[in-house]
Structure 1
Amino acid sequence: MANTTFSGPVISNNGFVGNITGNVTGNVTGNITGDVFASSQSLSGAGAVNLTDMLTSLTTTGASQALTLANGTVGQLKIITHTVDGGSAILTPTTAIGFTTMTFTNVGDTITLIYTSAGWAIVGNRGGTVA
Structure 2
Amino acid sequence: MLGALKKNPVWVTLLLLIIVAAYTVISTTSISEKGYVNRALNEVDYNKHILNSQNGEVSVTSLDGKRIKELFVPKPTTFAKINRIALWINGNKAVRVLLHTDNEGLQGPITVYFNPMTKQVIGYDVLE
Larger strand proportion of the pair: 1
TM-score by length of 2: 0.26
**The structure with more helix, counted as a fraction of residues:** 2
TM-score by length of 1: 0.26
